[in-house]
């Protein structure tokens, strides 16, 4: 369904609000990893959810379990084009998050970040509603401050291969704060640190999904560089809890606010944990480190703790085992489907 089809159908068959406190909430990028988990969470609280996505990296598969819900609607749309929808809140998540995905069409990534933010802000301004931006720890680049606090301005290469994403997200933050100051708008900006969990794509390219899928398939785990670079890995349920707390926080809490797990692991350590947890016979294969790959990353989550009373609760070992179980089932289903005989057409 397109935005236009949805809006014209909506006047004749409005979505039913089952509670007076329920809202109609727009999630851009809702077919992706985080977006689909967020849609599920918002629906579970009785809200109506409109998911807007161009399916660039997201999949309909992520939404199949929601598609029968009368309070859920999927709208296929690219956020670089303006849209009008009658909603009460906006979560702006649309943007590929995996480096290979966002570098595949860097110009479109930059447009998604800038125009996607602009279009979400314009809709929020027109309707006088709150708007949430999924920003990223990438705004800190390859950081000189460790752990990273929100008042650190970052160290980003503006012309490198990651810039379409990093600078795009920085520019989106600029737009959010300029709209807030210039038009007195209610904004919520969170900086997400590496998050993992069910509904990542097996071919997404990010480290956790790569390692798990490689281990389950008995392939070599590809460590880029020597594996001493660090990341902090947050389980998806913890992050989504942080999103909702931020959106529902007092108006004075605008962010930017870090959301992530402060546990810091070397990439090599993560590979060992995945091999141990899957019981795989996979070995390690070293590959060149991509350009501008940050060496260290860990959030200071003092602000989220103070303003949102939020901190992660799922340790990496627990989150990994849940994610491994998800991919194990996903890959088995995929293998079974590949083995199914092709049905002859009746015609």
Which residues carry out catalysis?
A: 165
For residues 25 and 42, what is the distance between their CA atoms, to the nearest angstrom? 8
For residues 214 and 192, what is the distance between their CA atoms, to the nearest angstrom? 25
For residues 212 and 283, what is the distance between their CA atoms, to the nearest angstrom? 13
Binding of ligand NAD at residue 96 (CB under 6 A)?
A: yes
For residues 270 and 261, what is the distance between their CA atoms, to the nearest angstrom? 14
Name the one residue in this structure whose structure tokens are 């594996």: 227
Residue 250 CB, nearest approach to ligand NAD (Å)? 24
Residue 335 CB, nearest approach to ligand NAD (Å)? 23
For residues 256 and 246, what is the distance between their CA atoms, to the nearest angstrom? 10
Name the one residue in this structure whose structure tokens are 């959010």: 176
| Phi/psi at 6 (5° precision) | -65, -50
Interface of this chain with ligand NAD, residues 30 to 89, rule: CB under 6 A: 31-35, 53-58, 78-80
For residues 189 and 137, what is the distance between their CA atoms, to the nearest angstrom? 12
The site partner of 224 among ligand NAD, ligand UDP, none (C-beta below 5 to 8 Å per kind) is ligand UDP
CB 70 within 8 A of CB 48: no
Binding mask 148-187 for ligand UDP (x = CB under 6 A): ----------------------------------------
Residue 172 CB, nearest approach to ligand UDP (Å)? 16
Residue 273 CB, nearest approach to ligand NAD (Å)? 18
The site partner of 42 among ligand NAD, ligand UDP, none (C-beta below 5 to 8 Å per kind) is none
The site partner of 78 among ligand UDP, ligand NAD, none (C-beta below 5 to 8 Å per kind) is ligand NAD
Half-sphere exposure of 2 (CA within 13 A, CB side): 6
Interface of this chain with ligand UDP, residues 195 to 234, rule: CB under 6 A: 206-207, 210, 222-224, 229, 231
Q: Which of 25, 97, 259, 304 binds ligand NAD (CB under 6 A)?
A: 97
CB 205 within 8 A of CB 100: yes
CB 275 within 8 A of CB 213: no
Q: Which of 142, 325, 313, 114 is nearest to 216 (CA)?
A: 325
The site partner of 210 among ligand UDP, ligand NAD, none (C-beta below 5 to 8 Å per kind) is ligand UDP
CB 162 within 8 A of CB 216: no
Residue 27: exposed, middle, or buried by beta-carbon count in 10 A (0-12, 13-18, 19+)? buried
The site partner of 290 among ligand NAD, ligand UDP, none (C-beta below 5 to 8 Å per kind) is ligand UDP
Q: Which is nearer to ligand NAD, 34 or 185 (CB)?
A: 34
Q: Which is nearer to ligand NAD, 34 or 156 (CB)?
A: 34
Interface of this chain with ligand NAD, residues 131 to 160, rule: CB under 6 A: 134, 136
Q: Which of 26, 192, 270, 314 binds ligand NAD (CB under 6 A)?
A: 192
DSSP string covering 225-236: TTS--EE--EEH
Interface of this chain with ligand NAD, residues 234 to 253, rule: CB under 6 A: none
Can you read off the two tokens belonging to residue 187?
């904004």
Residues that bind ligand UDP (CB under 6 A): 98-99, 194, 206-207, 210, 222-224, 229, 231, 267, 290, 293
Residues contributing to the site for ligand NAD (CB under 6 A): 29, 31-35, 53-58, 78-80, 93-97, 101, 112, 116, 134, 136, 192, 194-195
């Amino acid at each position: 369904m397109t935005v236009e089809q949805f809006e014209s159908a909506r006047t004749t068959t409005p979505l039913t609000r089952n509670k007076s406190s329920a809202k109609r909430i727009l999630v851009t990028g809702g077919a992706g990893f985080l977006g689909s988990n967020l849609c599920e969470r918002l629906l579970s609280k009785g809200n109506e959810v409109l998911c807007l996505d161009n399916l660039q990296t997201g999949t309909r598969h992520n939404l199949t379990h929601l598609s029968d819900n009368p309070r859920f609607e999927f709208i296929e749309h690219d956020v670089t084009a303006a849209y009008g929808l009658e909603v009460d809140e906006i979560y702006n998540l649309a943007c590929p998050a995996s480096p290979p995905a966002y570098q595949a069409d860097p110009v479109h990534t930059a447009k998604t970040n800038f125009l996607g933010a602009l279009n979400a802000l314009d809709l929020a301004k027109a309707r006088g509603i709150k708007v949430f931006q999924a920003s990223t720890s990438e705004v800190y680049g390859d950081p000189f401050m460790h752990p990273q606090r929100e008042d650190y301005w970052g160290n980003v290469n503006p012309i490198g291969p990651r810039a379409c994403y990093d600078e795009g997200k920085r520019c989106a933050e600029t737009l959010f704060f300029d709209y807030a100051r210039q038009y007195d708008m209610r904004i919520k900006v969170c900086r997400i640190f590496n998050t993992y969990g069910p509904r990542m794509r097996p071919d997404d390219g990010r480290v956790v999904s790569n390692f798990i899928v490689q281990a389950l398939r008995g392939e070599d785990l590809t460590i880029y560089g020597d594996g001493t670079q660090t990341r902090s890995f947050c389980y998806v349920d913890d992050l989504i809890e942080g999103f909702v707390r931020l959106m529902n926080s007092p108006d004075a809490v605008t962010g930017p606010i870090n959301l992530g797990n402060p546990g810091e692991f070397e990439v090599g350590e993560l590979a060992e944990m995945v091999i141990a947890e899957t019981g795989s016979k996979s070995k390690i294969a070293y590959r060149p480190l991509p350009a501008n790959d940050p060496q260290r990353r860990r959030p200071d989550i003092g602000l989220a703790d103070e303003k949102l009373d939020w901190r992660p609760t799922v340790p990496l070992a627990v989150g990994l085992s849940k994610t491994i179980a998800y991919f194990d089932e996903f890959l088995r289903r995929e293998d079974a489907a590949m083995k199914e005989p092709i049905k002859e057409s009746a015609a």
